[in-house]
Amino acid sequence: MKTFCGRANPTTGALDWVEESEEYDYHQEIARSCYADMLHDHDRNKKYYQGIRAAVSRVKARGEKVIVLDIGTGTGLLSMMAVTAGADFCYAVEVFKPMAEAAQSIVEKNGFSDKIKIINKHSTDVTVGPDGDMQTRANILVTELFDTELIGEGALPSYEHAHQNLVQLGCEAVPHRATIYAQLVESELLWSWTQLQPVEVEGTHLVPPPSVGRCAGAHSVCDIQLSQVSPGSFTPLAFHSVLPLPRSVDFSKPVSSAFQSHSSQFVVQSSGRAQVVLSWWDLDMDPSGSIVCTMAPSWTYPEPRMAPWRDHWMQSVYFLPVESRVTAGEELSLTVCHDDYSLWYSLQSHRYNTLPSRPCCTCQAHLVWTRPRFGELNDRQRTESFVSALRSVLREDSVCLGISDGSLLPVFAHMLGAKKVFGLENSRMSKQVLEANSLKGAVELLEIRPDQLCSNDLGGKQISVLMGEPYFSTSLLPWHSLFFWYCRTALAGLLLPNATILPCSATLHMLAVEFQDLWRIRAPCGTCEGFDVTPMDEMVQKSLDFRESLEAEPHPLWEYPCRALSDSAAVMTFDFTQCVPQQPVSSQGSLPFRRTGRCHGVALWMEYHLTTDITVSGGLIGPISEQGDCEWSRHRKQGIYFLRSPWEISGEGRAAVSYSFTFDPSLGDIRMDFSMEQQHFLSDCL
């Protein structure tokens, strides 16, 4: 059955009505999931297996029948481990129906149907009794309910209910215990992701609105691959263990999801500005703590390369509500609070320790700008590129119109001497910046869609400079910012014949890459710890084939190291000085491989040409090294087209990636296809 769905098109700005299968949503959920990543996480799987074996042995040593409750079973992997370890019976609970069906197939394929019962329910709906889902309460509780923040997927309410209703008093639990670690640091890089910094334009300092500086920021955790943040980017002020409860979280005992707090006193090791808390957690799989699965970033390891990679569990960055000056030797208290789904931190004098309120944005900026967007606005080099470009095109009689979400370009244009500046701005952040700098009225903000703007809205003036970064909060993939082009086309009648468009053009770039680790999220598993999980592989591939395998997906490549196997190349150009074409535009060609390796996919990004000699990149920001190492922008996500299976690039002969791109103006989308071609040459001079 198919239904019509209304979806906002991020490129054209239109509301598109499309016919979709009723299965579209869950196919997307499966295709974009991290199930494959978890199955490829050998360290996680090995530690769980060891913990389960130990728990089963302890229960058997007491002469008890081993009954296991596995909450969030996924593929059924942990239940199969339990039965293999000697469990008498397992109840495996999985709320997501397609996943529960896959688990049932996997359990049957591995011959465990008589020992494992798949229950397609939320654990809080599971019943116990002669007519219930479970015949009796379990004496081993196995769970994998964790996210990067540990409790963000509702682990505490699930544990709380399980202890009250589904497991025996004094049950064994795998994992047995969790410990959260926190590192208080000063970091100009990380702090730039939450606070707007002053900007100097033409010798004048543009200061952020006071409301932004006073704001505690967004409550949601910032989860990143902390291993990719160099230790040189922050200064530790103290390091100590912080526990979310007065004692370690012992999952074998009743757990409460109610609000709780815990404070740790410490002595400051280095003077500086306390800004950020870096956090991760460990799981002790057994009571003795001899089986530990840690999420610690690689730079905490004696040999960083030995750190296991995982994307389903990363590390967390928490921004303190206010920046505080601290002095070496000072005694302070770091307080962590949690509710049923989240954590937050505050720093206080240990003599005046009060419970912090949950952070909440009061300035609107943290609701309008993402953390990467804050970083982008604070990027001095990027700002200088825009200021230089504007300086080169502005005249005393310039009438400017800015089109971007939460942009400072209209403010820059006024400071650079434009006669009149308009801005199409719905968030009103520009208004706050103007008022904070006594520039009220310097920019006329119009809350009007570009296609509805008329000459009267501009006071009869014609636009001589149309400017954009471009940045739009609805953009997911790099080319979604082509919305700027559609806006420029809608405004064509309001532009002077010789109007300057900034940026004047954009180019789509591509690069064939070998991922260090990111390939795991798409790679089939086959067998996992000796169990056949091919039904899971088949389910994921079916969902990818539904649509996702034909599309690119957004990833911040600065967090996911990769090696360039080809040169980078501009494969499509979009001329913003002209209107959007009526007909599709295509580009074909081939890009030779320059290095041997395993090609997992193609990286895609946009570069915006502000003028003929000033370019801002949303992808590569430096030359590719001889070994193929890449440096990527932290501000924008790149598009990744994963190959269905990797290509082995050897030194025998020569190979190239053949590409085909088609930009469809009616859809505002770019269709793409890639294949590998072998090229044989008679001599190297060709």
310: left (phi over 0), alpha (psi -120 to 50) or beta: beta
| Structural domains present in the chain | 2-32 (no CATH), 178-367 (2.70.160.11), 371-502 (3.40.50.150), 505-516+561-678 (2.70.160.11)
Q: Is the per-residue pLDDT at 684 higher than 50?
A: no
Nearest to 451 by CA among 422, 492, 399: 492
Q: What's the pLDDT tens digit per position in 60-76?
A: 999 999 999 999 999 99
Distance of CA 245 to the CA centre of its chain: 28
Question: pTM for this one?
Answer: 0.93
Average pLDDT of span 621-628: 96
Catalytic residues: 144, 153
Q: Is the per-residue pLDDT at 488 higher than 50?
A: yes
Average pLDDT of span 509-518: 97
Largest CA distance in the chain: 90
Q: What's the pLDDT tens digit per position in 595-615?
A: 999 999 999 999 999 999 999
Helix extents (H) in 581-623: none
Q: What's the pLDDT tens digit per position in 432-478?
A: 888 999 988 899 999 899 999 999 999 999 999 999 999 998 999 99
Q: Which residue has the tokens 């199409």?
A: 424
227 in helix, strand or coil?
helix
Backbone angles phi, psi at 148, to 5 degrees: -55, -35
Task: Tell me whether strands 272-284 and 292-294 are parallel, antiparallel or unpaired.
Answer: antiparallel
Q: Which residue has the higher pLDDT, 140 or 37?
A: 140
In this predicted structure, which of 76-80, 96-100, 123-127, 381-385 has the lowest mean pLDDT? 96-100
Q: How confident is the model at residue 374 (pLDDT cuts 50, 70, 90)?
A: very high
Nearest to 488 by CA among 393, 387, 401: 401
Average pLDDT score, the chain: 91
pLDDT of residue 244: 40
Nearest to 263 by CA among 361, 327, 359, 331: 331
Average pLDDT of span 209-227: 91
pLDDT of residue 313: 95
pLDDT of residue 678: 79
Q: Is the per-residue pLDDT at 512 higher than 70?
A: yes
* DSSP 8-state symbol, 203: T
Q: Count the helix, strand and coil residues of the chain and give each as a percent rounded to the nearest 5.
A: 25, 35, 40
* DSSP 8-state symbol, 363: S
| 86, 54 contact by CB (below 8 A) | no
pLDDT of residue 408: 93
Cα 274 to Cα 90, 234, 345: the distances in Å are: 48, 11, 12
Q: What's the pLDDT tens digit per position in 328-365?
A: 999 999 988 999 999 999 998 866 667 778 888 999 89
Peptide bond before 130: cis, by omega within 30 degrees of 0?
no
In this predicted structure, which of 97-111, 208-222, 434-448, 545-559 has the lowest mean pLDDT? 545-559
Q: Is the per-residue pLDDT at 523 higher than 70?
A: yes
622 in helix, strand or coil?
coil
Q: Is the per-residue pLDDT at 266 higher than 50?
A: yes
As a whole number of angstroms, the distance between CA 390 and CA 610 comes to: 9
Q: Is 575 exposed, middle or buried (0-12, 13-18, 19+ CB in 10 A)?
A: middle
**CB burial string 676-686: b at 16+ within 10 A, e below:** beeeeeeeeee
Average pLDDT of span 216-221: 86
As a whole number of angstroms, the distance between CA 70 and CA 623 comes to: 49
